Structure 1
Amino acid sequence: MARVSQAHLDARRRQILDGAARCFARNGFHATSMQDVLREAGLSAGAVYRYFRSKEEIIGAIARECFTTVRAAFEDASRETPPPPPDVIVGRALHQVYEGPAGFTQGGGQSFARLILQVWSETLRNDELAAILRDGFGHLREGWTALVESYQQAGLVRDDIPADHMARTLIGTVQGFIAQQALFGEVDVEVLRNGLRGVMSMGATASAASAERAS
């Protein structure tokens, strides 16, 4: 009997996750059955249950994958000197998630956002999924905090504000953007980037105005 290659196994797992993500985004987590996932993925029950025993395991795998993609964007940014500004990092991370292996581009940003809102809501009743999100959020805080500290050391932002406070605020900004995507329709990532650039320009604009008045 021919041995199944790792590439084949990975492709099957990818096929299941992509199909499930489309189902969850389109119909909702609770309204989607495992039979729906089987049909969407075009696989037999035996093929799917070889990888995942339940919908909960599938959505947990999708959540881990999203955090892994975002973490990679932070790691790339941390290797740059000086580190890119927040609007650039946020734009990169969201684009990498939308265009990454989870296949969210088929439904656009709103498809991804609707799926993320369902993941968040499931954490209220699923302790295992809640643990995945807590771990992912912790890594996001660490990544943003390290970058904010780099900004402070470079004199780019105020150093009298705790770096963790700014990190949590930046994460909250992205979470709010995702909620807008899910609830009110497609919003281009460039809207968030422009908004962040506008907020970050406030101090510079005020300084320029003060200099003009002084002269």
Structure 2
Amino acid sequence: MARVSQEHLDARRRQILDGAARCFARNGFHATSMQDVLREVDLSAGAVYRYFGGKEELIAAIVTEALDDVQGSFEEAALQRPPEPPDVLIAGVMERVLAGRGMWHGKDGFARLLIQVWTETLRNDKLAALMREGYGRVREAWIKVVEAYQEAGLMRADIPASDVARTMIAAAQGFAAQQALFGEVPIEVLRNGLRGLMSMGEQKIS
């Protein structure tokens, strides 16, 4: 019997994940069955269950991968000294993440999937725990970016870096939510909005 290469195994796993993500983004977690996933990826049940034990494992794998993408992007940005300005950095990362998952049922597929995940965490304790752990890793990556700004004198150092990081995350999450709820929004909108906020100077109180 011929051995199956690791490259083939990885490609098959990728095929299943992408197909499942398209289904979830299109119809939601609860309206999507494993039969829907099998039809989407055009594989037998045995082929799919070789990689994933069921829908819950698929969801967990997709969420973990998405969080890893965001974390990796900001950890890479944090290595720059100083990092790019927030308007360039946040918009650039969001553009890469959203475009990188564009195969998931259209350009807004990744954003739609995020909404599904957030909703599911309210009822699924295991997914909620996974999200908390992943969010913690992402937040740490963003904190490193803020600390780099502060070290370079580009951002006030008297404000906790964790507070700034949470607010930056909220901006990215809010933009993704708008994509999912109201349709595609050009990334320039996020970039311009952040640039506008950054342009506000400290007003002197007389």
The interval holding the TM-score normalised by the smaller chain is over 0.9
- Aligned residue number for residue 107 of structure 1: 106
Deviation at 1:175, TM superposition (A): 1.2
Does structure 1 retain, via aligned residues, the 8 Å contact 2:25–2:104? no
- Aligned residue number for residue 81 of structure 2: 81
Deviation at 1:105, TM superposition (A): 6.1
Output the TM-score relative to the length of structure 1.
Answer: 0.89
Describe how 1:1-215 pairs up with structure 2 within 5 A.
1-100=1-100, 102-104=101-103, 106-108=105-107, 110-203=108-201
Does structure 1 retain, via aligned residues, the 8 Å contact 2:83–2:148? yes
Give distance in 2, aligned partners of 1:11 and 1:182.
28
Deviation at 1:103, TM superposition (A): 4.8
Does structure 2 retain, via aligned residues, the 8 Å contact 1:70–1:96? no
Query: Share of identical aligned residues, percent?
Result: 65
Deviation at 1:91, TM superposition (A): 2.3
Give distance in 2, aligned partners of 1:57 and 1:85.
37
| Residues 202 and 105 of structure 1, relative CA distance in 2, 3 Å threshold | farther
Give distance in 2, aligned partners of 1:59 and 1:96.
21
Output the TM-score relative to the length of structure 2.
Answer: 0.93
| Residues 105 and 58 of structure 1, relative CA distance in 2, 3 Å threshold | closer
- Aligned residue number for residue 213 of structure 1: none
Q: Which has the larger radius of gyration?
A: 1
Give distance in 1, aligned partners of 2:89 and 2:54.
34
Deviation at 1:111, TM superposition (A): 1.5
| Residues 31 and 70 of structure 1, relative CA distance in 2, 3 Å threshold | same
| Residues 112 and 27 of structure 1, relative CA distance in 2, 3 Å threshold | same
Give distance in 2, aligned partners of 1:47 and 1:89.
40
Does structure 2 retain, via aligned residues, the 8 Å contact 1:23–1:36? yes
Deviation at 1:99, TM superposition (A): 3.3
Deviation at 1:98, TM superposition (A): 2.5
| Residues 9 and 103 of structure 1, relative CA distance in 2, 3 Å threshold | farther
Higher percent of residues as helix:
1
Deviation at 1:152, TM superposition (A): 1.3
Give distance in 2, aligned partners of 1:12 and 1:146.
35
Where does the alignment leave 5 or more consecutive residues of structure 2 unmatched? none
Q: How many residues align?
A: 204
SS in 1 for 2:156: coil
Deviation at 1:132, TM superposition (A): 1.6
Amino acid at match of 2:124: N
SS in 2 for 1:51: coil
Give distance in 2, aligned partners of 1:21 and 1:7.
21
The higher-RCO structure (CA 8 Å, 6+ apart) is 2
SS in 2 for 1:31: coil
